[in-house]
Amino acid sequence: MAEPQRARPKPTPETQHFWDGTKAGELRLQRCDACAHVYFPPRPFCPSCASRKVSIFKASGKGFLYSYVINHRPAAPGFTPPYAIAVVELDEGPRMMSNIIDCPQTPEALELDMKLEVAFEALDDKITLPVFRPAKG
């Protein structure tokens, strides 16, 4: 029997640019051309002012650790507990769920507000997940 796999995202027409971006090593966000609001997750209009004039741009990939849990049980398929499920606040404003790599999965190592930078983890030839690691320097 095959090993249970980590849940795989299935892009929709509205999110395809995001997943194209991660595959190309870019974290892409959207900004409203009318009110400059930066938002996530992707959609072809501004959730702040409803304008349909929005642009896709490459985010800095920098942010900080907003909050997290360290999940012990039950573990999701494809994960070995304990593992942190984090929420990262990006320098551009939006927050996203992620995992923290290159860091012990402990309360001592995972300090709230620690600076993070994006990294990319290819799940297969279609999907690359953005994850985060402690920022260097």
Q: Figure out which of the listed residues 63, 99, 118, 119 binds another protein, where binding follows CB under 8 A.
A: 99
Site string for another protein, 28-67 (x = CB under 8 A): ------------xx------------------------xx
Q: Figure out which of the listed residues 34, 57, 71, 114 binds another protein, where binding follows CB under 8 A.
A: 71
Which residues between 101 and 120 bind another protein (CB under 8 A)? 107, 112
Would you count residue 125 as binding another protein (CB under 8 A)? no
Would you count residue 73 as binding another protein (CB under 8 A)? yes
Q: Figure out which of the listed residues 34, 56, 70, 101 binds another protein, where binding follows CB under 8 A.
A: 70
C-beta of 43 vs 58, nearer to another protein: 43
Q: How are beta strands 83-90 and 62-71 bridged, if at all?
A: antiparallel
Would you count residue 4 as binding another protein (CB under 8 A)? no
Would you count residue 22 as binding another protein (CB under 8 A)? no
Whole-angstrom distance, CA of residue 116 vs CA of residue 108: 16
State the maximum Cα–Cα separation within the chain, in Å, rounded to a whole number: 52
- Cα pseudo-dihedral 129, 130, 133, 136, rounded to 10: 130
Q: Which residues bind another protein (CB under 8 A)?
A: 6-12, 15, 19, 40-41, 66-79, 82-83, 85-87, 95-99, 107, 112, 123, 129
